[in-house]
A and B are shown apart, each in its own frame.
Chain A
Amino acid sequence: MVTKEEIFEAVSTVIDPEVGFNLVEMGLIYDAESNEEGNAIVTMTLSTRACPLHQMIVQWVKEAVEKVEAISSCEVNLVWEPEWNITMANDNVKKALGG
């Protein structure tokens, strides 16, 4: 079974081209789990509901996780609660965005 950390590591290869940080650093990935059959579920949000890239980002996450050897499929659960805010990002992101 693939751990949450391994799934997060896979998702960390997905970068938001607007801000230039990966989704895990941004704090957009809320949870991840997988079962013994290799089915993974990633629970995530986006920085704005109006994000014109949202379908594409979801697809990138799915593809990144499905590249993990023991994963056969990945479902992305996009949620809006809790609403994302900058306090969820890591210090590196906060410092860079803070100008």
Chain B
Amino acid sequence: MFAISQDFAPPFKLIAPFFVIGVLFYVVTVVFGLALDAETMSYLDSAVLGWVHLFLLGFVMMVIFGAMAQLVPVVLEVGHFGVEFFYVIWPLLLVGTVMMAGGFIAAPALLPYGGTIVLISMMIFVLDIFLTLKKVEKFNFVMTTVVIANSFLFMGVIVGIILALGYAGQIDVDITALLNGHVYLVVGGYIMITIMGLSMILLPMFGLSHGFSWKPVERALVVMSISVILVVFSSFTGLTSIAYLGYVLSIVSLFVYLYQIVTLYKTRARKEHDIYAISLYFSFGSLVVSLLMGSLYLLNGSEQLLLSAGWLIFTGFVGFLITGHLYKIVPFLVWFERFSPLVGKEKVPMLADMVPTKSANAQFIFTVIGVTLSALGLLSASDALFKGGISFMSIGSLFLLQSLMYMIRFR
């Protein structure tokens, strides 16, 4: 017999707030998109920075932290160093994110305070992860991604605090130069590497993929790590050619990662086209398109391409990857808590029975249309098209909230 992951599984009441608050942030962020102007948008606009922080901190990081609370024991086969830490992580992340968004949108003086609260929240998370890792005897690929991703997160948050102080006018720093390092540390170093690691657990588990090679994703991890280091190095030294090499390598890394996904897809046993599967199709499709747009941006420097590629990466790739997995992870957690003790005593539902198909499909359709239209709006600098897309996404986000509450309340 081997280590038993569920002995260390945190209770659902600890994880549920991460998902509920994360999805609420998703709704708020999507609706807040109506305040952006696609015709005059620049990636350094304070409203854009506010939107990006609401989306990444409030939705993406909140859900990832909740998922990691559950998955770390499964992946590492040891219990959390301090699972109780997660009771303070989400309130701190919630308050810090709201203050940071407020800082970007209305009152820059709030930024360092919001940033510090977010920093404390993330440091607690990183501390728990590293102290948990100390219990691990033998490292595998996924554990390696956890170490690398959390090291980059640690550095990214520190750079973020320096940026917040600079943005609030309290210290004098080159915001544009440091911003690239911050973005690459957090998005490339933490989010993308975490996605690479978790993909290798979750996709084969839900798709029943077997007999595939791990080589592509191992290479993607190495290339992405080098890319992040190069961009961070250039943001401190001002060597733009190094940064350019880093940008190219990050695109190469994600294409190699996509090749890995294709191998998982080809070797999967489950071929149903349920909400999970179609969400992933759109997610990875968005990644392909955004990487092609990112490659073109490196050639011609059009900011519309950059904005549209970034939008697709966030709302298309990361957004659908997360929402798709919510339809698998939330039913499992609720089932585990509520129905697993009843197995053998009375009839219990299957996990698929707990997914509200109509609401989930509506969320998918509205959001796909919305993401596509808004990305085209950004590409063509058409505010009407962009706002039309945001309107569809807003309706989709409400269906997501409805689906989540249905799954959580399922009895």
B-binding residues in A (CB < 8 A) = 13, 15, 17-20, 47-48, 50-56, 60, 63-64, 78, 83-86, 89, 94, 97-99
A–B pairs, 15, beta carbons within 8 Å: A20-B350, A47-B205, A52-B5, A52-B6, A52-B332, A53-B336, A54-B4, A54-B5, A60-B344, A64-B344, A85-B210, A97-B269, A97-B270, A97-B272, A98-B269
Report the Cα distance A54→B205, complex, angstroms. 12
Contact assessment for A53 and B210 in the assembled complex, using a CB-CB cutoff below 8 Å: no
Q: How many A-B pairs with Cβ below 8 Å?
A: 74
Report the Cα distance A51→B74, complex, angstroms. 8
How distant is B388 from chain A, measured CB to nearest CB, in Å? 33
How distant is B195 from chain A, measured CB to nearest CB, in Å? 16
Contact assessment for A50 and B344 in the assembled complex, using a CB-CB cutoff below 8 Å: no
Given A20-B352, A60-B343, A85-B210, CB of A52 within 8 Å of CB of B9: yes
| Centre residue among A15, A17, A48 by max chain B CB count within 10 A | A17
A-binding residues in B (CB < 8 A) = 1-2, 4-7, 9, 70, 74-75, 201, 204-206, 208, 210-211, 269-273, 332, 335-336, 339-340, 343-344, 348-352
Q: What are the residues of chain B within 8 A of A56 when measuring CB–CB?
A: 6, 336, 340, 343
Contact assessment for A55 and B4 in the assembled complex, using a CB-CB cutoff below 8 Å: yes
Q: Is the interface of A mostly helix, strand, loop or mixed?
A: loop
Not counting A19-B208, A55-B5, a sample of 9 additional A-B residue pairs whose C-beta atoms are within 8 angstroms of each other reads A17-B335, A17-B351, A18-B351, A47-B208, A48-B208, A55-B4, A63-B344, A78-B2, A98-B271
Q: What are the residues of chain B within 8 A of A85 when measuring CB–CB?
A: 210-211, 269
Report the Cα distance A43→B97, complex, angstroms. 50
